[in-house]
Amino acid sequence: MKIDVLYFAWIRERIGEPRERIDTGASTVRGLVNQLIARDERYAAALSDLSAIRVAADQVLVDFDHELEHVREVAFFPPMTGG
């Protein structure tokens, strides 16, 4: 299946792309992360510490065990602080 993957803030800077379309057989977000990390060192550097990353599937905050079935878009971003 094809999924749009979006990267924000320092994650985007480390990967060097704001978004891309990925062909994946991963069943969960964690599986997608593992696929991305295996691509090359930019992804490994950006996605190595999942405790420093938040993820959304179709614009809803989810965890890394979230199923990808029927998901069209996954976004990775650092935790946000508010004020």
Domain that holds residue 64: 2-77
pTM of the model: 0.93
Domain count within the chain: 1
Task: Residue 76: name the closest of 8, 27, 2 by CA.
Answer: 8
pLDDT value for 19: 98
At 69 the pLDDT is 96
The greatest distance separating any two alpha carbons of the chain, rounded to the nearest whole angstrom, comes to 39
Q: What is the pLDDT of residue 18?
A: 97
Tell whether 83 is covered by a domain.
no
Question: Is residue 39 situated within a structural domain?
Answer: yes
Closest CA to 53 of 5, 1, 21: 5
Beta strands 2-7 and 19-23: pairing type?
A: antiparallel
User: Residue 67's domain is classified under what CATH number?
Assistant: 3.10.20.30
67 DSSP assignment: B
pLDDT averaged per 10 residues in sequence order, the chain, 83 residues: 97 97 97 97 96 97 97 94 55
